[in-house]
Structure 1
Amino acid sequence: MGHGHGHGHLSPRTDSASGRYIPALVAALVIGATVMVAEFTVGFATSSLALISDAAHMFTDVLGIGMALVAVQLARRSGPTFTRTFGMYRAEVLAALANAILLFGVAGYVVYEAITRITDPPEVPGLPVLVVASIGLVANLIAFLLLRRGAQESLNVRGAYLEVLSDLIGSVGVLISGVVTLTTGWHYADPLVGVAIGVFVLPRTVVLARRALRILFQHAPHNIDVEALHNDLCALSGVEDVHDLHVWTLTSGMEVASAHLTVGADVDTAHVLASAQHLLSSRYAIEHATLQVEPRESARRCAQLTW
């Protein structure tokens, strides 16, 4: 194992939930970058706020997926060492939080820009907007389908998925704005659609940020009832008390727990440990648990600790 300064690996590398969706993330990145360039070019050429808004979302999309990929690779390549005992898996959660902040900034900018334009909307040619929005819609639909499954398992992939979803809605909005401008010549359609895209994205951004912060603050995973888990451990044969129970998420798909189990003098500690591990694994899908099975004397010492 070695006795150096953090160069040895503590355990074999494990893929997080995001790691299984690298090909999908790469494909979504390529699609997004291509459409983003087209939308920015035509958006500025035609003064279409709806198209610029969608391109800006596409930019955060590309940046977000890029960050997600970097975070996954960072987490995969740097397993636990003696200085980084949990590896770099939290990079994925930080990427999701950065994504949320980016989206919030872009949505705010678009709403501000649209409000300033309402009084004097520029003339926007509908046809180029319509063509580029159609391309964007197809591209976003492909990226959406690629990331849909991964978004259920990984917060990191979910960040990228939410951005693709908002882009998909944005493309539909731009398409509507192009059709309205082309058929009626109504200039307010473009800034109004820009605002609608911004407002649509904001609530989803808040949810993503909240979920990332929940992990960073080491709150219990939302799908695990810690009180029920505590009661289940207390109900195990030979266990008198459970204390110092902690359940947290390292990154999406990697839940961790630790607990002290107080047992009587004549109890088979190996059997208690095996029962507790099986309970956590089978009922709560927690494979990585650090359990301290201790006699009553040790438990009394635990009660004296301040935190």
Structure 2
Amino acid sequence: MSANHQHGPAVGTADRGLRNRLLIAFGITTLIVLAQAIGSVITGSLALLTDTAHALSDASGLLVAVVAATMMLKPPNNRRTWGFARIEVVAALGQAALLLVVGTYAAIEGLRRLVEPTQVPAGELLVFGIIGLVANIVAMVVLSSSRDANFNMRAAFLEVLNDALGSLGVIVAAIVIATTGFQRADTIAGLFIAALILPRAYRLLRETVRVLMEFTPKDVDLDEVRTHILALDHVQEVHDLHASTVGTGLSVLSAHVVIDDECFESGHAPQILEQIRSCVKEHFPVSFEHATIQLETTAVRERTCTEVEHA
């Protein structure tokens, strides 16, 4: 006896409103890339060049996020039983990889320019820094209300936030150069941007890899889950216990539970099944709305063990 308990479609976290916000943010970021690319050519600034590369990665990541959000709107079918719920995780992984590349480049180039500083016109640098900051603030406002909706939106907001901080670094560098003539301020700002990018990109990469590798959700202790189930009356053993995450807000759990043989004879098995589902749903921080529980007799368990040993 088994049960697969489901509530709603797998694409429940997808929303056309999220996609529209991403489209707006993508348009704004694309304009930032064009403006800052022109500015980096005019000024020769490392900070502005790094921020341009960062904005370019943002625009690419947001484009991927738009595509992912669009695909997530497609409903499940017999060939794709979860729909495209996991595409947001794949998109976030790609964005994290882009950020790591940009951050690494900025760090290497920054170290080189510390030794060989270049002359940067402060006035032009300040203008382009302000343009980038204002545009990024607008994009952040657009995305802020939905930044925790899923991995995809988190990655998109993170990229825009990092780019805004990078633009702020450009502005500070321009002011320092204008007031003191310290040209290495531009390089230091570039390194500052790299320092913002790398740790956040690493954390996002780690979280998305956890999902793709189907690791147990970080707030779930499977030993504790097993202990709770074993504490129920008539439960003898719990084996093949697995938990993973398909997408944001979509955690799944499966288990084989051996119960007393007489529970099947008396018709008590369905009640035990419901108790197990309620236990899993109520006692853990992650809500396992999709829980597949297979009830087994002692004989079935022994036969399964025998088959495994002779396999």
The reply to whether TM is greater than 0.5 is yes
Question: Map of 1:38-53 to 2, 5 A cutoff?
Answer: 38-53=35-50
What pairs up with 1:148-187 in 2 under 5 angstroms? Answer: 148-187=144-183
**What corresponds to 2:96 in structure 1?**
100
Taking a change above 3 Å as real, the CA distance of residues 111 and 78 of structure 1, as seen in their structure-2 partners, is same
The residue type equivalent to 1:51 in the other structure is: L
Unmatched segments (≥5 aa) in structure 1: 1-10
Rounded to whole Å, the distance in 2 between the matches of 1:123 and 1:18 is 48
Measured in 2, the distance between the counterparts of 1:148 and 1:227 equals 37
1:61 to 58, 73, 83: 58
Matches within 5 A, 1:228-247: 228-247=224-243
Q: Distance in 1 between matches of 2:279 and 2:62?
A: 37
Please give the alpha-carbon distance, in whole angstroms, between the structure 2 residues aligned to 1:301 and 1:87. Answer: 36
Q: Which residue of 2 aligns with 1:282?
A: 282
- Listed one character per residue, the Cα deviations across residues 231-269 of structure 1 (whole Å, up to 9, x for unaligned) are 122222332221111100011211111111111122211
Provide the C-alpha distance between the structure 1 equivalents of 2:83 and 2:198, rounded to a whole number of angstroms: 32
1:75/1:87 contact within 8 Å kept: yes
Q: CA deviation at 1:30?
A: 2.0
- Secondary structure (helix, strand or coil) at the match of 1:71 reads helix
CA distance 1:104–1:280, change in 2 (3 Å): same
For 1:214 and 1:292, how far apart are their aligned partners in 2? 26
Question: Which amino acid is 2:281 matched to?
Answer: S
Indicate the SS of the match to 2:148.
Answer: helix
The residue identity in structure 2 corresponding to 1:277 is R
Distance 1:41 1:206, change over 3 A: same
Name the counterpart of 2:303.
301
* Contact 2:88–2:150 under 8 Å retained in 1: no
| 3-state SS of 2:59 partner | helix
Amino acid at match of 2:279: L
Tell me the distance in 1 between the aligned counterparts of 2:270 and 2:109. Answer: 65
**Contact kept in structure 1, 2:229 and 2:235, CA below 8 Å:** yes
* Mean Cα deviation higher: 151-160 or 13-22: 13-22
| Equivalent residue number for residue 30 of structure 2 | 33
Is 2:182 the partner of 1:194? no
Q: TM-score, with normalisation over the residues of structure 1?
A: 0.88
Aligned to 1:24: 21
Question: Helix, strand or coil: the match of 1:266?
Answer: helix
Quote the residue 2:4 is aligned against.
Answer: none
Closer, same or farther: CA 150–190 of 1 in aligned 2, 3 Å = same
- Residues of 2 paired with 1:185 and 1:138: CA distance? 25
Residue of structure 2 in register with 1:292 after alignment: 294
8 Å CA contact retained: 2:33, 2:56: yes
Q: Which residue of 2 aligns with 1:270?
A: 270
Match of 2:73, SS state, is helix
User: What is the CA distance between 1:153 and its match in structure 2?
Assistant: 4.2
Letter in 2 for 1:102: L
**Structure 1 CA distance, aligned partners of 2:255 and 2:75?**
27
User: 2:74–2:83: 8 Å Cα contact kept in structure 1?
Assistant: no
Query: Which residue of structure 2 aligns with residue 73 of structure 1?
Result: 70
Which stretch shifts more, 64-73 or 256-265?
64-73
| Count of aligned pairs | 296
Identity %: 33
Shift of residue 12 of structure 1? 7.1
